[in-house]
Structure 1
Amino acid sequence: MGWNIVIADDEAPAREELVYLLENCEEVDKVTAATGGMDAIKKVKEQAPDVLFLDMDMPDLNGLQVAEIVADIHPQTKIVFSTAYDQYAIHAFKLRAFHYMLKPYDEEDIAIVFRELRKIQQPNDTAPGAPSGTSSMKTSVKLALELEEGIIYVFPKDIIYISKELKHVEVHLYDRAYHVSYTLTELEMKLEPYGFFRCHKSYLVNLAAISEMKSWVNGAYNLMMEDAARSSIPVSRNYVKQLRLKLEI
């Protein structure tokens, strides 16, 4: 059974774009659109959605006001704030927002949300009853890189980061890189169980290969990677909090 979703946005183009993106996700069963804050509350009461995509800036009730009411009437609903501005982020997380997206968003932003939803839906590998040998299987598998001259197999731990420029995706090892036919989203799904994190729309990094995080501008950061070139990888503001939660003890 897929996700039941309500979208609340008073701007028709943004609302229709998000409906389109979500309706093209196989994991989604139903998408219901609301045109404002009061309408969002009405739709939540009617639909009891799993997820509410909530615009911050609406004329009747803003996103924070709607989130407080939804927390009372249907606390199980996960709230994903979507806005063109980032000044609401601290307030959003104080309200235990599940996720926070900055407009304009695309398929990869939606993929990140569903990756996080899958985590709360699927059991841990270490849960009781998990097949024995799971950990050893993870350390023995390799990623197949199909190249013109054949197939190269690499351990996930040997990958430092993965980048995308235009339509070209490159897998970066310590001192070399390979053009591959995978999409960045495909590699994210394959490698997420092996300690990889999507820190930017164009970058996927191996958490174990990060040596430093440096402040940059407007709340963004750069990661210093442990490859031969000491590569610097940007971290989008949307992902800084999640990254620190995964990286730090």
Structure 2
Amino acid sequence: MLTVLIAEDDPAMRHILRKTLSQIPGVEVLGEAGDGITAIKMMEELNPRVIFIDIDLPGKNGVELARDICDINPQTILIFATAYPDYTHEAFEVYAYDYLVKPFKLDRIKKTMERIKQQEAQRAPVPVKEFTPPVAARTTPARLVIRQHENLIFLDTQDIILITREDRKTVILTREEKLNTTESLNSIEERLPGNTFFRSHRAYIVNLNMVREIRPWGKNSYEITFSGTQQKALLASNKARELEKILALPGS
């Protein structure tokens, strides 16, 4: 079942969205929020797979809400449904799956949800792009020291698969364990070897030596899969172009 939360301050639009979504088989609307603060609370409580977001929300606007959601669970699928066409850049920076400008046809919502359902059912498709990390990435393993409460943890960077955000904390996934730290992604990124690690998205740093596949996901983004874990990361469209240049892929 594809679960949905609606964050929209207009009661009439909330009703339209709920009615439209309820007519799609395999989709369940878990709740509605009329402001950004309520929406983030409901997101933490209900953990929906998809969230429809209006830009002009009271309390916390749609872009701020999306950034908060990304800090809690960056894998949440965000669909902006708004009367403001000028926020597409900000929306896709926080991994918007789609951006619908009001007034939009209700069939567009159905098509978007059906596309999500199909992609959810095919989480391991044939790879779109396969690549071998550049030779420069294969360097002598460095050590990364992170602070965990009052302890210092020493990690070999070659063992790190990815670094992300979950529940407002930074999570480091290695070959053997999953570590939490209060350090920011920016702070850790500054101490990582840049020829091996890549900031693919505001909520992800990935080890290029661990990447297995990159495939389209949503309107302007990609999904990264790794060797040694089922965890996935996101690749923003602007970062995809940057990565293609780093890897010197044909056509980049």
Taking structure 2 as the reference length, what is the TM-score of the superposition?
0.48
Higher relative contact order (CA 8 A, sep 6+): 2
Taking structure 1 as the reference length, what is the TM-score of the superposition?
0.48
More strand as a share of residues = 2
